[in-house]
């Protein structure tokens, strides 16, 4: 895998449907492994995805490996403060476990070299994400959200199996 080439390209209108479906397939695996009682519909919902993709400063990117679509990311770039956020990040089902995620993260860092700090959020149960962000990418957990300390940026969704617990990560560049 060491010679595998990862690149990033903006998602165009013809690919957005596939992008969303692949992201939902990837995200739903962790939720179905962790919880028995699942909400109806895709995870995250189409409305949540549309909000992320269409947010001010959002850039939707395809992760490419040797010309193949292997995943994607939605980042929000603040050109004034250079404090950016990783809203969504995924590898297509079957592409995980080969170092592609780490290479894709490094490609994101290279794409936005003026970044002062990156932030991202993940639910408490996503041990693979926690390992990836902390141990592979160099993020630090800076806040733990729960019922006594709620996250103003991630309101609790009724019947969400993950509840209101999650971590905020930050990486100072």
- The parent domain of residue 32 ranges over 6-172
Is residue 15 in a domain?
yes
Of 36 and 134, the one with more pLDDT: 134
Question: Does 16 reside within a domain?
Answer: yes
Q: Please report whether residue 98 resides in a domain.
A: yes
In a domain, 110, yes or no: yes
Task: Enumerate residues 6+ apart whose C-beta is below 8 A from 13.
Answer: none
- The CATH number that applies at residue 158 is 3.40.630.30
Residue 161 domain-assigned (yes or no):
yes
- Check residues 59 and 127 and name the one with the higher pLDDT: 59
Top-confidence residue, 164 or 140: 140
Confidence of residue 150 (pLDDT cuts 50, 70, 90): confident
56-65, 73-82, 95-104, 142-151: least confident range: 142-151
Domain assignment present for residue 103? The answer is yes
Number of structural domains in the chain? 1
Q: Which residues fall within 8 angstroms of residue 154, CB to CB, at 6 or more apart? A: 121, 145, 166
Look at residue 157 in the predicted model and tell me its pLDDT. Answer: 62
pTM: 0.89
pLDDT digits (tens, 9 = 90+) for 8-31: 999 999 999 999 999 999 988 877
Is 1 contained in some domain? no
In a domain, 168, yes or no: yes
Q: What are the tens digits of pLDDT across the range 116-149?
A: 999 999 988 888 899 999 999 999 999 998 888 8
């Amino acid at each position: 895998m060491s010679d595998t080439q990862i690149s990033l390209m903006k998602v165009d209108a013809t690919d957005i449907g596939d992008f969303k479906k692949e992201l939902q397939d990837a995200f739903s695996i962790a939720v179905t492994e962790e919880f028995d009682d699942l909400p109806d519909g895709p995870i995250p919902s189409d409305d949540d995805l549309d909000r992320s993709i269409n947010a001010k400063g959002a850039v939707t990117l395809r992760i490419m490996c040797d010309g193949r679509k292997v995943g994607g990311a939605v980042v929000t770039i603040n050109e004034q403060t250079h404090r950016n956020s990783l809203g969504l990040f995924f590898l297509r089902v079957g592409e995980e476990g080969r170092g592609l995620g780490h290479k894709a993260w490094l490609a994101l860092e290279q794409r936005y070299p003026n970044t002062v700090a990156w932030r991202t959020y993940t639910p408490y149960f996503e041990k693979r994400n926690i390992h990836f962000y902390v141990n592979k990418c160099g993020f630090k957990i800076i806040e733990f959200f729960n019922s006594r300390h709620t996250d103003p940026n991630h309101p609790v969704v009724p019947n969400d199996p993950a509840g209101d617990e999650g971590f905020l990560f930050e990486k100072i560049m």
